[in-house]
Amino acid sequence: MGNRQKGRQTQSWELDAIANLVGIPRNQLENIYKDFRRVSKDYLLDKHEFRRIYKDLIRHSPNPPDTSDLTSCELNRRDNATADRIFKTFDRDHTGRLTFDEFISAYIMLQNSISPQIRLNFLLDHYSQNNGYITPNMGRRVIQDMSDLYGVNTDYQQVWGNLEANYALQNGRIPQQAFTEYFINHPAYSSAFYNGVQIPLPPPSPQF
């Protein structure tokens, strides 16, 4: 995770894997990706377009959140707030743009219907050639991003220190299985995995 100066083209087999994982029809995901390609620059998406495409992806989700108690205006504000939380989390270098990888990564991490282990392994496998091990830089970044995305109030440096003390090998890396099991069994993160992102409904914009 983390931003880049230029994104990359998502391959057809990757779209197949994502569609199977999240349950979105392959043709719908293809259309969303084509829309991303159309409005992005160097495979990077700005915040305004990110909001719009995020809402499109939610609309095709097989397990959309219950919004029956929200008006259309409230739903739009809530979706914008969720998209903004995702954008802020992944835009670590403050370029104001995200890749399609980061966009899909955040979406999958928010899918409560997918097991936490599958979500974490997808995240780690898809964005790092880790060969089954997590480096200190990657580990700290993932912990910080998960904490910000789910609103878990923890010190990511301290969490990584706990992992190092219990699981680190001589080269400082941690086995991916140990990394995922740690967070699945961690009370705060486990609760976040199953309860999802809790974002208060923002107030209406002031009218001038």
Of the options 2.60.40, 3.10.20, 1.10.3470, 1.10.238, the CATH number for the domain spanning 116-195: 1.10.238
**What pLDDT band is residue 24 in, cutting at 50, 70 and 90?**
confident
Average pLDDT of the segment spanning 158-164: 90
* pLDDT the model gives residue 129: 65
State the pTM of this model.
0.79
* pLDDT the model gives residue 132: 85
* pLDDT the model gives residue 127: 59
Q: Which of 38, 48, 152, 36 is nearest to 103 (CA)?
A: 36
Average pLDDT of the segment spanning 13-26: 89
* pLDDT the model gives residue 59: 81
**What pLDDT band is residue 126 in, cutting at 50, 70 and 90?**
low
What's the topology of domain 12-109? Answer: Recoverin; domain 1 (1.10.238)
* pLDDT the model gives residue 208: 47
Copy the structure tokens of residue 80.
């914008």
Whole-number Å distance between alpha carbons of 104 and 80: 16
Residue intervals in the chain for CATH 1.10.238: 12-109, 116-195
**What pLDDT band is residue 30 in, cutting at 50, 70 and 90?**
very high
Asked if residues 174 and 133 have their Cβ atoms less than 8 Å apart, the reply is yes
Mean pLDDT score of the chain: 85
